[in-house]
Structure 1
Amino acid sequence: MKSILVIGVGKFGHHLVNKLLELDNEVMIIDSNEDHIRDMFTKVNSARVGDCTNVEVLKSLGIRNFDVIIVCIAEDFQNSLEVTNLVKELGGRHVISMASRDIQAKFLLKNGADEVLYPARDVAYNLAEKCSANHVFDYIKMTDEYSIYEIPIIESWAGKTIREVNVRAEYNVNIIAIVSGGETLIMPSAEYEFQKGDHIKALGKKECIDKIVKEIH
């Protein structure tokens, strides 16, 4: 459980806050518009209405007390940049800010952000990758080289264990989960026996995943 401050609660912020709460984090929210957060008052640990470009407002939040501070001001980049800078100057431990373009990310990283998110771009890229590839049921980009893919098993794997198939040596990917019968098994042992209809969640490079996909009928 972490203590997290979310600054700016638009559509993305609402989804973010709800998930953070679901994961048992302590969440404080603040937005300059009360209408944006009225529906969250009874859900979060603390809610405030205020303009975070005002350093006194930020000081009153106790910035140093939070493990993570997420700046979700998407509609006004100048405000986002200013708030990111102020939060870091006030001792923010780990500051995450949103960007829609690379140039924005560069400015944010130079002015206090420890990490930058591209919510719209990332969703678009993931959907494009998923729709373009055969047999890919889910896709999460991890780095420029590595991603997590959910794909069906090769038919010949059914009845064999992960060890017998020797997936890591044969294909240079790591199986991090098995989806079987609607259930997800995280970090399966090498003795797991594949069942017909199983999917794997595999971490690897695209070319390595493609090698498996080419063998799926």
Structure 2
Amino acid sequence: MKSVLIIGMGAFGRHLALKMTELKNDVMIVDKDAAIIEDMSSQVTDAQIGDCTKEDVLRALGIGNFDVCFVTIGDTFQSSLEITSLLKDLGAKYVISKASRDIQAKFLLKNGADEVVYPDKDMAEKLAIRCSANNVLDYFSISNDYSIFEIPIMKSWTGRSIEEINVRKKHHINILLIKSDSNTMSLPKADYIFKEDDLVLVLGKSEDVLRFSDNI
């Protein structure tokens, strides 16, 4: 469990706060809008009304006590930049700031952000890959080259073992997990026999997995 500060309750900030709370973290949220704070207050550990571009407001929150500080301001980039910088000046351990463009990320990283996220860009890329590829149920990028994909198995795999199909050698992908009905099996053994409706999570170069998925 971690102590988390989330500044800015736009759509992304709200979803983040609720998920972090669901994962049993201590979550404090801050926003200038009193109506938003009143609406969210019962769903998080603590909720404060305040303008976090003002140093005295941030200082009163005890920034050094939080494991992670998120800056999810959505209205003006200038506010996000100022808050990111102030957080670091006040001793924030780790600052994650939201950006919508590469130039914003560049300035945020130069002014105190330890990490920058692109929720809109990342979702758009994920949706584009999932909807343009065949048989891709879900997708998660690890690096520029490698990704994890959730895909169905080839019909020819049914009744055969992982060792028999030799997917690593033939297709340059690694099977990380198998979903069978309501069960999941991580890092399955070579003697696992595939069932007709199995789904697999595979790791590999994106181009290799997409090529493979087109042939399922």
Same fold by TM-score greater than 0.5: yes
What is the match of residue 133 of structure 1?
Answer: 133
What is the match of residue 161 of structure 1?
Answer: 161
- Cα distance in 1 for residues equivalent to 2:191 and 2:2: 35
What is the match of residue 98 of structure 2?
Answer: 98
Number of aligned residue pairs? 216
**Residue range with higher mean Cα deviation, 122-131 or 175-184:** 175-184
Q: Which runs of 5+ in 2 are unaligned?
A: none
SS at structure 2 position matched to 1:6: strand
**Residue range with higher mean Cα deviation, 6-15 or 76-85:** 6-15
What is the match of residue 179 of structure 2?
Answer: 179
- Cα distance in 2 for residues equivalent to 1:127 and 1:180: 25
- Cα distance in 2 for residues equivalent to 1:191 and 1:62: 54
Q: What is the one-letter code of the residue matched to 1:86?
A: L
**Moved >6 Å (runs of 4+):** none
Q: What is the one-letter code of the residue matched to 2:103?
A: I
SS at structure 2 position matched to 1:64: helix
Query: Structure 2 matches for 1:67-82, cutoff 5 A?
Result: 67-82=67-82
Q: Report deviation, 1:194.
A: 1.6
Q: TM-score, length-normalised on structure 2? A: 0.93
Rate the CA distance shift 1:48–1:138 in 2: closer, same or farther, 3 A: same
**Residue range with higher mean Cα deviation, 137-146 or 24-33:** 137-146
Q: Report deviation, 1:173.
A: 2.2
- Cα distance in 1 for residues equivalent to 2:81 and 2:189: 46
Q: Which runs of 5+ in 1 are unaligned?
A: none
Q: What is the one-letter code of the residue matched to 1:157?
A: W
Q: Report deviation, 1:34.
A: 1.4
SS at structure 1 position matched to 2:36: helix
**Residue range with higher mean Cα deviation, 118-127 or 160-169:** 160-169
Work out whether 1:65 is the aligned partner of 2:53: no
- Cα distance in 2 for residues equivalent to 1:98 and 1:90: 19
**Residue range with higher mean Cα deviation, 157-166 or 127-136:** 157-166
Which digits, 9 at most, give the CA deviation of each residue in 1:171-206, with x for residues without a partner? 332322222224443443444322111111112211
Contact 2:134 2:214 in 1 (8 A): no
Q: What is the one-letter code of the residue matched to 2:3?
A: S
**Residue range with higher mean Cα deviation, 166-175 or 14-23:** 166-175
- Cα distance in 2 for residues equivalent to 1:201 and 1:149: 6
- Cα distance in 1 for residues equivalent to 2:17 and 2:189: 34
